């Protein structure tokens, strides 16, 4: 009996060694005892203490414009030579009741693809990709209480864009699942088109020998506001999947698809069944770059994958590399 037990023990030891070797070879993954790199578990519901929330707060580096305003006066606020905000007297209130006195206005401006990634406000409307001409977060508070625009009131946001003004842009508002700035990450955020679907006015201004173009966005709501238009709906589309190393899980990793020919960024959602990240409605033949950002322990990782022709393959592998926060921000700022 002792010989049989000893034989069984040896066989179990050989099986365990073989399994560990196969896992390491097939996944190119090294086990680290008591190390976050050893965590390969995906979860159905991501809790608030997951590293992905800390990651989002870490990369959100957009500085807000903060100003004091008089709610009883018509205001024409100018910030630099590229942003102007018009607010009419009595337009801000609490529960529809106009407020007076002084208040604080905060403005965060999103211009580049990298800005939308850092703010985790990708360019989609309920799953459909959008092309953006910029976005804003505008909040007005009085004595710590957030105000809203009264019924029938609006503000005008007049701004120069970083690219020539495009036609057919419309106003969109952010649909939030929890109010920013409680945290930067709102994975269910989407852009909802204004019930007024008229196109945003554009303008051209000569400055010396050059011409600058911009938009006049009329907003009837505060907080997240943007100029967007839907991408061509007639183009055939597909789903794509991003596959990362086993320790890049839905608890610690964000993946985005960055379009080459439009200012469009889509967030890939986690697919628990396949242990991958996926998104739909990607136009066939599109040129995109997949960008992964991970926080594992105290370390940050960045992965990129250039795809020149979406459709020939739909599963794409990304190999992240350890980077500093500044290196990741430099990359995002250049998008």
Domain of 269?
A: 51-57+233-333
Residue that is written with structure tokens 């201004």 in the block: 205
Average pLDDT score over the chain: 89
Per-residue confidence (pLDDT) for residue 244, from 0 to 100 = 98
Whether 175 and 304 map to the same domain: the answer is no
Mean predicted confidence (pLDDT) in 257-268? 97
Residue-wise pLDDT tens digits, 25-61: 344 444 445 688 889 999 998 888 899 999 999 999 7
Whether 210 and 99 map to the same domain: the answer is yes
Mean predicted confidence (pLDDT) in 215-244? 96
Domain-located, residue 21: no
CATH no. for residue 112? 2.60.220
Whether 245 and 313 map to the same domain: the answer is yes
Structure tokens at 324: 């500093």
Structure tokens at 35: 């190390």
Structure tokens at 120: 């985790």
C-alpha distances in angstroms, 197 versus 193, 200, 215, 229, 259?
Answer: 7, 9, 15, 10, 25
Residue 113: is the preceding peptide bond cis (ω within 30°)? no
Residue that is written with structure tokens 């092309």 in the block: 131
Question: With contact defined as beta carbons under 8 Å apart, do 175 and 133 qualify?
Answer: no
Domain-located, residue 186: yes
Residue that is written with structure tokens 């010989």 in the block: 3
Whether 179 and 244 map to the same domain: the answer is no
Q: Which of 178, 202, 230 delimits the end of a domain?
A: 230
Domain-located, residue 38: no
Q: Give DSSP secondary structure letters for 240-296.
A: EEEE--TT--TTTEEEEEEESSSS-EEEEEEETTTTEEEEEEEETT--EEEEEEEEE
Whether 201 and 259 map to the same domain: the answer is no
Residue that is written with structure tokens 């211009």 in the block: 111
Domain-located, residue 126: yes
Residue-wise pLDDT tens digits, 172-188: 999 998 778 777 888 88
Q: Which of 197, 230, 263 delimits the end of a domain?
A: 230
Whether 70 and 213 map to the same domain: the answer is yes
Domain-located, residue 10: no
**pLDDT over 70 for what percent of the chain?**
90
Residue 229 has pLDDT above 70, yes or no: yes
CATH no. for residue 278? 2.60.40
| Residue 259: φ, ψ to 5° | -80, 145
Whether 116 and 190 map to the same domain: the answer is yes
Whether 226 and 237 map to the same domain: the answer is no
Q: Which of 194, 213, 230 delimits the end of a domain?
A: 230
Residue-wise pLDDT tens digits, 93-145: 999 999 999 999 999 999 999 999 999 999 999 999 999 999 999 999 999 99
Domain-located, residue 20: no
Domain-located, residue 149: yes
Per-residue confidence (pLDDT) for residue 225, from 0 to 100 = 98
Whether 311 and 171 map to the same domain: the answer is no
Residue 162, Ramachandran bin (φ over 0: left; ψ between -120 and 50: alpha; else beta): alpha
Please measure the distance between the N-terminal and C-terminal CA atoms of the chain and give it in whole angstroms: 68
Whether 223 and 74 map to the same domain: the answer is yes
Residue 81 has pLDDT above 50, yes or no: yes
Mean predicted confidence (pLDDT) in 75-85? 94
Residue 62 has pLDDT above 90, yes or no: no
Q: How many structural domains are present in the chain?
A: 2
Whether 158 and 247 map to the same domain: the answer is no
Domain-located, residue 23: no
Whether 122 and 266 map to the same domain: the answer is no
Residue 13, Ramachandran bin (φ over 0: left; ψ between -120 and 50: alpha; else beta): alpha
Q: Across-strand partners of 302?
A: 293, 321
């Amino acid at each position: 009996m002792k010989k049989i037990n000893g034989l069984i023990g040896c066989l179990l030891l050989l099986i365990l060694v073989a399994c560990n070797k196969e896992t390491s070879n097939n996944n190119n993954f090294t086990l680290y005892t008591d190390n976050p790199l050893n965590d390969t578990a995906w979860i159905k519901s991501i809790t608030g203490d997951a590293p992905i929330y800390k990651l989002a707060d870490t990369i959100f580096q957009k500085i807000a414009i903060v100003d004091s305003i008089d709610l009883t006066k018509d205001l024409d606020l100018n910030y630099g030579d590229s942003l102007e905000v018009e607010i009419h007297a009595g337009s801000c209130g609490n529960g529809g009741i106009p407020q007076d006195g002084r208040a604080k206005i905060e403005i965060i401006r999103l211009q580049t693809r990298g800005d939308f990634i850092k703010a985790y406000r990708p360019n989609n409307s309920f799953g459909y990709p959008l092309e953006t001409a910029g976005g804003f977060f505008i909040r007005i508070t009085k004595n710590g209480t957030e105000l809203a625009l009264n019924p029938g009131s609006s503000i005008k946001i007049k701004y120069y864009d970083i690219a020539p003004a495009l036609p057919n842009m419309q106003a969109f508002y952010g649909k939030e699942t929890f109010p920013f700035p409680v945290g930067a990450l709102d994975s269910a955020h989407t852009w909802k088109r204004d019930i007024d679907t008229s196109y945003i006015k554009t303008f051209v201004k000569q400055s010396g020998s050059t011409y600058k173009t911009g938009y006049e966005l009329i907003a009837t709501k505060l907080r997240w506001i943007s100029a967007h238009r839907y991408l061509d709906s007639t183009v055939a589309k597909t789903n794509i999947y991003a596959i990362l190393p086993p320790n890049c899980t839905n608890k610690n990793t964000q993946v985005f698809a960055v379009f080459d020919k439009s200012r469009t960024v889509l967030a890939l959602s986690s697919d628990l069944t396949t242990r991958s990240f996926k998104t739909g409605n990607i136009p066939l033949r599109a040129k995109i770059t997949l960008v992964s950002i991970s926080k594992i322990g105290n370390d940050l990782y960045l992965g990129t994958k250039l795809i020149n022709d979406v459709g020939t393959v739909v599963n794409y592998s990304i190999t992240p590399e350890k980077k500093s926060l500044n290196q990741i921000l430099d990359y995002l700022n250049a998008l």
